[in-house]
């Protein structure tokens, strides 16, 4: 039998991840393997964590399952048959894995359908553009909207030139800085332009330059303003339109969108567990969101987040590891255009909110370099940092800030729950985010295995430690 340290060293070789030697300041943060500095409560967990890590790194099961999900069901927009069937598949597959108390938590959720859509330059010369309507958008009349184009680079410019907006299609040609900064033009752009009489808006895709990939995503209408259609165009198409206008060429566009919002649909969260052996009512909650935008299978957003959290529980089952507390996997519905899954979970489990000892979400991909983040009090942070230290041979950096996620946020808020997040490299993530390029080819099997290993390790620690994480 190899020692635990030998197992972790072997796993390092298998992982073939560049080991990032990060300068760190705490006494227990020496070279990997300096277990002497680790607090006593960690040692009894090391063996099982090693087994979980080794089992994950030695398998492509996670990637294979992600491919099966994306290949079989494609995009999984809330309300679609695709999502409904994928939910049934997930519950069945969880049962086959041997997860316990597998069930659906039903909820109503917004139901938007894209319909046929197109965008064309009409003058100076007819030419089709690439586009994706924004989620929640109203459609155009059947023959489309044909109108002169106006290009602005900011909301300030829109306001300054308000008198020119009436009767136009407005393009927000705003370069991507960060998702948080730029997404406001996608979300709020249509209502802001409608305020000054625009007929429709286009937004330069919220993401870095890709291969002419449009990024969809939700818009939010302001209740007191007319609802006008909104669509996204790739960076290249936005550049082209902006260059034409800068040369003084009057451009006329025709936008056609058959989008509509139907009555709320039936949807559901998929829940499966490993029931705790001593304190089954205390819960470590792990999950991602199972819905996705429709142009691709949503491999990275957020199929992989569902798969890697689910893998953590499947690995425990496979190794016949039953933790002290319950590990609960939730594949949340409707994160992209309503968050009804996260809200339904909060409402359904409100009475047990404080029994959630830790909640982890994976919804920023698993692209290397990936990391684990934590939000909670200092003592709990130190405890989880000591656990994440065990993952240094896999290439995980020290525990960072930034726990949480959209879906676990509501229950975590009610229960004051310490939260974690597994996050991948954001540059790669936002390159394909909400695009037709969000496919499984972008994700390496090793990245899926490593993410599952990291989540399994911290989940096992939180579910097995003698006293629950302090809060
Ligand atoms: Zn997401």
Q: Tell me, yes or no, whether 126 and 101 share the same domain.
A: no
Residue 100 lies in a domain: yes
| Overall average pLDDT of the 308-334 stretch | 98
What is the tally of structural domains in the chain? Answer: 2
Question: Does residue 8 lie in a domain region?
Answer: yes
Annotated active-site positions, please? Answer: 335
Position 368 in a domain: yes
Distance (angstroms) between ligand 1 centre and the Cα of 304 equals 10
CATH of the domain at 155: 3.50.30.30
Confidence of residue 178 (pLDDT cuts 50, 70, 90): very high
300/448 same-domain check: yes
pLDDT at 26: 36
Is 80 exceeded by the pLDDT of residue 21? no
Average pLDDT, the chain: 93
> Do 130 and 148 belong to one domain?
yes
184 within domain boundaries: yes
Q: Are residues 239 and 286 in the same domain?
A: no
The pLDDT of residue 19 is: 32
Please indicate, yes or no, if residue 470 is contained in any of the structural domains: no
> Which CATH number goes with the domain that contains 29?
3.40.630.10
Looking at the structure, do residues 94 and 210 belong to the same domain, yes or no?
no
Instruction: Determine, yes or no, domain membership for 471.
Output: no
Query: Do residues 320 and 414 both lie within one domain?
Result: yes
Of the candidates 258, 288, 309, which is a domain's last residue?
A: 258
Centroid of ligand 1 to alpha carbon of 75 (angstroms):
13
| pLDDT of residue 397 exceeding 90 | yes
- Examine the domain organization and report whether 124 and 59 are in the same domain: no
Q: Is residue 469 part of a domain?
A: no
Same domain flag for 200 and 175: yes
Let me know whether 229 and 127 are in one domain. yes
Q: Ligand 1 mean position to 162 CA, how many Å?
A: 34
Residue 155 has pLDDT above 70, yes or no: yes
For the chain, percent of residues with pLDDT exceeding 90: 92
Domain-terminating residue out of 212, 235, 258: 258
Same domain, 86 and 132: no
400 and 269, same structural domain?
A: yes
Q: What's the pLDDT at 8? A: 47
Give the pLDDT of residue 36.
Answer: 52
Q: What's the pLDDT at 7?
A: 42
Range of the domain at 295: 4-110+264-464
143 in a structural domain: yes
The 10s digit of each residue's pLDDT in 267-308 is: 999 999 999 999 999 999 999 999 999 999 999 999 999 999
Q: Which residue has the tokens 């499966």?
A: 272
Q: How far is the CA of 29 from the centre of ligand 1 (A)?
A: 32
- 188 and 95 assigned to the same domain: no
Task: Pick the last residue of a domain from 258, 278, 310.
Answer: 258
């Amino acid at each position: 039998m190899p020692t635990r340290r030998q197992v972790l060293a072997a796993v390092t070789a298998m992982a073939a991840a560049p080991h990032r030697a990060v300068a760190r300041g705490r006494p227990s943060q020496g070279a990997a393997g300096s277990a002497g500095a680790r607090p006593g409560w960690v040692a009894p967990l090391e063996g099982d964590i090693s087994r979980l890590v080794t089992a994950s790194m030695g398998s492509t099961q996670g990637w294979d399952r992600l491919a099966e999900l994306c290949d079989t069901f494609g995009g999984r927009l809330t309300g679609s048959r695709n999502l409904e069937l994928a939910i049934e598949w997930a519950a069945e597959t969880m049962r086959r894995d041997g997860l316990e108390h597998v069930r659906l938590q039903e909820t109503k959720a917004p139901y938007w359908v894209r319909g046929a859509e197109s965008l064309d330059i009409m003058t100076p010369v007819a030419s089709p553009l690439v586009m994706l309507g924004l989620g929640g958008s109203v459609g155009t009349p059947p023959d489309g909207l044909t109108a002169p184009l106006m290009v602005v680079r900011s909301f300030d410019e829109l306001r300054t030139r308000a008198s020119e907006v009436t009767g136009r299609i407005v393009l927000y040609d705003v370069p991507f800085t960060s998702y948080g900064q730029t997404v406001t033009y996608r979300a709020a752009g249509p209502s802001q332009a409608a305020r000054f009489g625009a007929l429709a808006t286009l937004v330069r895709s919220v993401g870095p330059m890709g291969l002419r990939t449009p990024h969809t995503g939700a818009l939010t209408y302001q209740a007191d303003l007319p609802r006008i259609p909104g669509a996204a165009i790739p960076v290249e198409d936005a550049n082209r339109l902006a260059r034409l206008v800068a040369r003084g060429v009057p451009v006329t566009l025709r936008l056609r969108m058959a989008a509509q919002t139907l009555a709320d649909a039936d949807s559901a969260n998929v829940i499966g567990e490993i029931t705790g052996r001593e304190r089954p009512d205390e819960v470590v909650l792990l999950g991602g969101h199972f819905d996705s935008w429709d142009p691709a299978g949503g491999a990275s957003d957020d199929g992989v987040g569902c798969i890697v959290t689910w893998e953590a529980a499947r690995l425990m089952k496979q190794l016949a590891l039953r933790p002290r507390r319950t590990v609960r996997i939730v594949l949340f519905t409707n994160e992209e255009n309503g968050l009804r899954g996260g809200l339904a979970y909060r409402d359904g489990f409100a009475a047990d909110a404080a029994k959630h000892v830790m909640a982890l979400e994976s919804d920023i991909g698993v692209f290397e370099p990936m990391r684990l983040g934590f939000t909670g009090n200092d003592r709990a942070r130190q405890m989880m940092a000591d656990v994440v230290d065990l993952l240094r041979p896999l290439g995980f950096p020290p525990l960072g800030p930034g726990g949480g996620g959209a879906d676990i946020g509501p229950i975590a808020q009610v229960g004051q729950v310490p939260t974690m997040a597994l996050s991948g490299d954001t540059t790669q993530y936002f390159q394909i985010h909400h695009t037709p390029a969000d496919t499984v080819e972008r994700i390496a099997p090793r990245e899926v295995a490593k993410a599952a290993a990291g989540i399994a390790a911290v989940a096992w620690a939180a579910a097995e430690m003698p006293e629950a994480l302090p809060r």
